[in-house]
Amino acid sequence: MADVVAAMGVGVTIGAAAYTHAGGFVARHETVRSQQSTEIQQQVTNFEAAYERGEVRGRDWQEYRSIRAVARQKESEYERSIEAYKETPNYHYITKHNKKREVRKKKKEFQGASRSLRQYYSAIREEQAK
């Protein structure tokens, strides 16, 4: 009887640890997404203000809008991957692991798109300074 109780205790402990680990994973990724989204929104605001002041040419504006659309698409994909991970039950270990890999992949893609937007904005500003 004591063995059964001990085994149940170990099972509960392992389950609690998995739940806590999964919660930390989600929290970290939601924080990263939020920070990157805020950064992108600030870049969008700055670039649009520069366009309204006439500091950005039409060709640059079109290129910027294209890069911004990709960044927003990558943000949506990243957010959906986080949600898919959260919705996957812990007892589907293989599926959960694959979803975790997908979240990390989408994070890298989102960060790359954010970086492209930032670099484009910086390049335009440097060009204006000349």
> What's the pLDDT score for residue 121?
86
- Rounded to two decimals, the pTM is 0.76
> Average pLDDT for residues 50-78, to the nearest whole number?
91
> What's the pLDDT score for residue 80?
96
> What's the pLDDT score for residue 124?
83
- Residues constituting the chain: 130
Q: Give the model's confidence band at 11: pLDDT under 50 very low, under 70 low, under 90 confident, else very high.
A: low
- The domain spans of the chain are 2-129
| CA proximity to 122, closest of 60, 78, 75, 77 | 60
pLDDT tens-place string over residues 78-97 = 999 999 999 999 899 999 99
- pLDDT exceeds 80 at position 8: no
> What's the pLDDT score for residue 4?
53
Q: Which amino acid is at 77?
A: E
What is the percent of the chain where pLDDT is above 70?
82
> What's the pLDDT score for residue 85?
95
Reported for 110-114, long-range contacts at CB under 8 A and 24+ positions apart, including other chains, are 110/33, 110/36, 110/71, 110/74, 110/75, 110/77, 110/78, 111/36, 112/74, 113/67, 113/70, 113/71, 113/73, 113/74, 113/75, 114/36, 114/39, 114/40, 114/71, 114/74
> What's the pLDDT score for residue 7?
53
Q: Give the model's confidence band at 16: pLDDT under 50 very low, under 70 low, under 90 confident, else very high.
A: very low
- pLDDT exceeds 50 at position 20: no
